Amino acid sequence: MTVANRRQREKEQRRTAIIEAAEKLFYAKGFDRVTMDEIAEAVEFSKGSLYVSFKNKDALFFAIVARKHREYLEQLRNDLKEPASGGEQIRRMIRCLVDFSKKHKEYNDMACTYGPLIWSRMDADDERALAENAMEYNLWLHDTIRRGMEDGSIRNDLDTAMFGFYLSLISISVVSPLPSWKKGFEMAGVSYDQFVDNFLKFIDPSIDHCRKQGAQGSSKNPGER
C-alpha cells in the first residue's frame, strides 16, 4: 500500500468515525442540542481536526443523510434482483422505502424533525454530498416508469419526469411526515406503522387505474358523462 493510499484510507476512517459519533449524539440528544465540541470529544479528536473534515453541523447532518441514502439504494438493489414489470418494480420500491423507514426509526425521526429547517439553508457543498445518490435513484426511477408505460403496467397519461416527481414527493412525505402530522395521527388513533403500511393501497390506483378508466371511457358516446 502506498503512502497516498494509506493516508486516504485513514482520512476515510476518520470521516466515518466522526459521522457515526455525530449520528449517535443527534439521535440521543437532538440535532440542535449537540455541539461540535461534544462530537470532537466523542471521537477523541481536536475541534480543529473535526473542522478539517466537516465545516459545521449541517455538513455532518447531510453526510448522515447521504450514508442512509446509500444504504437504502443498496437495499433497493437487493429487493429488485428478480425480474418484474415496471409497475411491480415501483411497488417493490415503495415497500422497500416503507420497510427501511420503519427499520431506521431514529434516523427517520431526526430527518423529519430537523430536516426541513436544515434543508432550507443547504449550500452547494451540501448539495454535492447528496447529488450522486439522487442521480442514481432518479435515473432508475425514470427508467422504470418508462418501462412500466411500455409494458402496460403503469399509467401512460403523464410525463415520465412529472410522474417520478409526484411519486417521490408523495412517498417521502408519507414515510417521513412532519412532527405535527404525526401528532395528528395520534389524535385520530392511527399509528405511524398503520399509516405507512396502507400507503401501497393508496398509491396503487395512482399508478395503474387511469389506464383502466381510459379503456372503459373509450366505449362511451361523444358527450356522454
Return the pLDDT at 38.
96
Look at residue 158 in the predicted model and tell me its pLDDT: 86
- As a three-state string, the secondary structure of 4-60 is HHHHHHHHHHHHHHHHHHHHHHHHHHCHHHCCHHHHHHHHCCCHHHHHHHCCCHHHH
CA pair distance 191, 198, nearest whole angstrom:
11
- CATH 1.10.357.10 domain span(s) along the chain: 57-208
Q: What pLDDT, on a 0 to 100 scale, did the predictor assign at position 212?
A: 47
- 94 contacts 206 by C-beta, under 8 angstroms: no
Closest to 179 measured CA to CA, from 111, 98, 100: 111
33: how many CB neighbours lie within 10 A of its CB? Answer: 10
For the domain covering 1-54, report its CATH number.
1.10.10.60
Q: What is the pLDDT along the chain (225 residues), one digit of tens a residue?
A: 687 777 788 888 999 999 999 999 999 999 999 999 999 999 999 888 899 999 999 999 999 999 999 999 999 999 999 899 999 999 999 999 999 999 999 999 999 999 999 999 999 988 988 998 999 999 999 999 999 999 999 998 889 999 999 999 999 999 999 889 988 998 999 999 999 999 988 888 888 745 444 444 443 443 443
Segments of the chain assigned to CATH 1.10.10.60: 1-54
Per-residue pLDDT at 209:
47
User: Could you give the C-alpha distances from 210 to 156, 198, 207, 216, in angstroms and in order?
Assistant: 8, 20, 8, 10
* pLDDT attached to residue 33: 96
Q: What pLDDT does residue 51 have?
A: 93
- Torsion, CA 216, CA 207, CA 174, CA 96, rounded to 10: 140
> In which residue are the cell numbers 414515510 written?
175
**3-class SS string, 145-211:** HHHHHHHCCCCCCCCHHHHHHHHHHHHHHHHCCCHHHHHHHHHCCCCHHHHHHCHHHHHHHHHHHHH
The grid coordinates of residue 168 equal 417521490
What are the Cα distances from residue 186, in Å, to 61, 73, 190, 215? Answer: 28, 31, 6, 41
The CATH code of domain 57-208 reads: 1.10.357.10
Q: Model pTM?
A: 0.85
